[in-house]
C-alpha cells in the first residue's frame, strides 16, 4: 500500500473545511430567514419585550468558534508538516527553474536538461528543487502536489507524486509579468521503462543531417545569434537565456506549454515571436521565408 499522498491529505483538509463552513453557512441563512419570519411586522403591533443580550448564548458561541478555529489550526499545521516533509540533505530528482516565461528542468542524476515538458516516473514520490532565474514564480500542478513559490536566491522543495501515467497540467501561480498567463506547465508521468528510455533519448547527441537545408539552418542558427540564448548539447553553444533546444523536436508543446509544437506554430514563432507571445524575451529577427524554412528544417530535426 502506498502511504496517503500529499494531494489526498490536502484534499481531505479542504473537504473538512468545506463541510464545516457549509454547515455554518446554512445555519446562518436558516436563522436569518427564521427570525425575519418570526419577528415580522404583525397587525397587533405592540412594543416587543426589550432584552439586553444573552450572556450564556454569547459565551457558548464564542467557545464554539474558538474550538472550531483551534481544531482547524491543528489540522492545517499537521497537514503542512506531513506535506512539506523535506529531508535535511535533500537530493532532488529534478531541479525546475522558472524563467520569464518558461520552465527549465535539470535531472542531476542523468544530466538531462529540457524545457517546458517535464517528465517524471509514475508511482514514485519525486523530490523537486525549485528556483527562479528572474522574478518570483510559483509552481503548481494541483493533481501532483502542493503549490510552492520559486524565489530568486532561495531554494524551495516540493514533493510530486503521480499515481497513473499521463499528462498533468498546471500554471505559474504568482504574477510574474506580461506572459504570466502564458507560463503553463505540462508534467508527463511515464512508466519507469518509458521514463528511462526518454532519459536515454534526451542524452543522445544532437542530430546531424547532410541535407543542405539543415546545414543552412544550422549556419543561420549560429550567425543570427540564436546561440547567445539557446544551448544545444554537444556543441559549443551553452547559453541558458532561452530553452535548451537539443531535443526540441521531441517535445509536443513549446513556449511554456502555450503552443502545440508543429511546423505552423514554429514558423509563426520564428517570423514574429512578439506576435505569438507578446513580451517574450526573444527578439524579432525579421527573417525571410527562406531563412525560416532553413531554421525550421534545422530545429525540427533536433530530436
Pairing of strands 259-260, 156-160: unpaired
Stretch that binds Cu ion, among 64-72, 76-84, 130-138, 293-301 (CB under 5 A): 130-138
Scan residues 155-184 and list those touching ligand HEC (CB under 6 A): 179
* Coil, strand or helix at 49: coil
Q: Residue 137's binding partner, choosing from ligand HEC, Cu ion, none, with beta-carbon cut-off 5 to 8 A by kind?
A: Cu ion
Which triple of cell numbers denotes residue 229?
A: 540564448
Q: Residue 188's binding partner, choosing from Cu ion, ligand HEC, none, with beta-carbon cut-off 5 to 8 A by kind?
A: none
E-assigned strand segments in the chain: 94-99, 102-107, 112-115, 117-121, 126-132, 137-139, 148-150, 156-160, 166-171, 184-190, 253-254, 259-260
User: Based on CB atoms, which residue is closest to ligand HEC, 134 or 163?
Assistant: 134
Which triple of cell numbers denotes residue 272?
A: 514574429
Which triple of cell numbers denotes residue 206?
A: 544532437
Minimum Å gap between C-beta 26 and ligand HEC is 46
Measured from the Cβ of residue 244, the count of other Cβ atoms closer than 10 Å reads 23
183 is a site residue for Cu ion (CB under 5 A): yes
- Among residues 124, 141, 248, the alpha carbon closest in space to that of 190 is found at 124
Length of the chain: 303
115 is a site residue for ligand HEC (CB under 6 A): yes
From the number of C-beta atoms within 10 Å of its C-beta (0-12, 13-18, 19+), residue 217 rates as buried
Give the interface size with ligand HEC as a residue count (CB under 6 A). 29
Minimum Å gap between C-beta 117 and ligand HEC is 8
Q: Residue 281's binding partner, choosing from ligand HEC, Cu ion, none, with beta-carbon cut-off 5 to 8 A by kind?
A: ligand HEC
Q: How far apart are alpha carbons 232 and 115 in whole angstroms?
A: 12
Minimum Å gap between C-beta 160 and ligand HEC is 21
Measured from the Cβ of residue 84, the count of other Cβ atoms closer than 10 Å reads 14
Among 99, 119, 137, 230, binds Cu ion (CB under 5 A): 137
Binding mask of the shown chain, residues 242 to 281, with x at each position contacting ligand HEC by CB under 6 A: xx-x--x-----xxx-------------x------x--xx
* Coil, strand or helix at 227: helix
Q: Residue 285's binding partner, choosing from ligand HEC, Cu ion, none, with beta-carbon cut-off 5 to 8 A by kind?
A: ligand HEC
What residue ranges bind ligand HEC (CB under 6 A)?
101-102, 115-116, 179, 221, 224-226, 228-230, 241-243, 245, 248, 254-256, 270, 277, 280-283, 285, 295, 299
Amino acid at each position: 500500500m502506498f502511504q496517503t499522498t500529499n494531494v489526498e491529505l490536502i484534499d481531505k483538509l479542504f473537504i473538512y473545511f468545506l463541510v464545516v463552513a457549509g454547515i455554518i453557512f446554512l445555519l446562518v441563512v436558516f436563522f436569518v430567514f427564521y427570525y425575519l419570519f418570526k419577528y415580522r411586522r404583525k397587525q397587533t403591533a405592540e412594543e416587543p419585550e426589550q432584552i439586553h443580550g444573552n450572556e450564556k448564548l454569547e459565551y457558548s458561541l464564542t467557545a464554539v468558534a474558538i474550538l472550531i478555529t483551534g481544531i482547524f489550526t491543528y489540522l492545517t499545521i499537521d497537514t503542512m508538516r506531513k506535506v512539506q516533509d523535506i529531508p535535511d540533505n535533500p537530493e532532488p530528482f529534478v531541479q525546475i527553474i522558472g524563467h520569464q516565461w518558461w520552465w527549465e528542468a535539470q535531472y542531476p542524476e542523468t544530466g538531462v536538461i529540457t524545457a517546458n515538458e517535464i517528465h517524471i516516473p509514475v508511482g514514485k514520490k519525486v523530490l523537486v528543487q525549485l528556483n527562479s532565474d528572474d522574478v518570483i514564480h510559483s509552481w503548481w500542478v494541483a493533481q501532483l502536489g502542493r503549490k510552492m513559490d520559486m524565489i530568486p536566491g532561495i531554494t524551495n522543495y516540493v514533493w510530486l507524486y503521480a499515481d497513473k501515467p499521463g499528462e498533468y497540467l498546471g500554471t505559474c501561480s504568482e504574477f510574474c509579468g506580461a506572459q504570466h498567463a502564458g507560463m503553463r506547465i505540462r508534467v508527463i508521468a511515464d512508466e519507469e521503462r518509458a521514463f528511462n528510455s526518454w532519459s536515454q533519448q534526451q542524452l543522445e547527441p544532437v542530430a546531424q543531417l547532410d541535407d543542405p537545408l539543415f546545414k543552412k539552418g544550422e549556419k543561420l542558427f549560429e550567425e543570427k545569434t540564436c546561440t547567445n540564448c539557446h544551448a544545444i548539447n554537444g556543441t559549443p553553444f551553452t547559453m541558458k537565456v532561452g530553452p535548451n533546444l537539443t531535443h526540441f523536436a521531441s517535445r509536443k508543446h513549446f513556449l511554456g506549454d502555450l503552443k502545440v509544437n508543429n511546423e505552423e506554430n514554429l514558423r509563426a514563432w520564428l517570423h514574429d515571436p512578439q506576435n505569438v507571445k507578446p513580451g517574450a524575451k526573444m527578439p524579432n529577427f525579421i527573417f525571410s521565408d527562406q531563412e525560416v524554412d532553413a531554421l525550421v528544417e534545422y530545429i525540427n530535426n533536433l530530436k
